[in-house]
Amino acid sequence: MNYFFIKHLHMTAAGLSIVFFMIRAYWSVSGSGMLQRRFVKIAPHVIDTVLLVCGVILAAMIGPEQPWILAKIVALILYIGVGTVAIKRGKTPASRGVAALIAIAIFFYIVGVAIRHNPMSWLA
């Protein structure tokens, strides 16, 4: 497979994923019924599946023994956990809002790791 194509598909899916997450988090905090729409329930799974599959392919191409790839995987697990609190598991709008902000911060940590190829992310 073409590394350039997979990388750009991965980056596009990441961009769509975070934008859609922020919209859904806003709807979750504001109590919008938009979260119940079929498209809103299905699209994140499609986008995130493309993101994950591309990530696995890229890791296989690069070599998964890179420390920065492990940092991205650990941060991704944290992002997913905190993201579920932001969208559906948080008991109050305030707790969902705080979780959304933390999830967004984790996402930007992951972006920094990807750009700098360093677990220290933007601090490297």
pLDDT at 1: 72
Examine the pLDDT at 120 and tell me if it is beyond 80. Answer: yes
Domain ranges for the chain, please list them: 3-123
Q: Is the pTM here over 0.95, yes or no?
A: no
Alpha-carbon dihedral sign for residues 80, 106, 98, 40: negative
Per-residue pLDDT tens over the stretch 66-115:
999 999 999 999 999 999 999 999 999 999 999 999 999 999 999 999 99
> In the chain, pLDDT over 70 holds for what percent of residues?
100
Decide: residue 41, CB within 10 A, 0-12 exposed, 13-18 middle, 19+ buried.
exposed
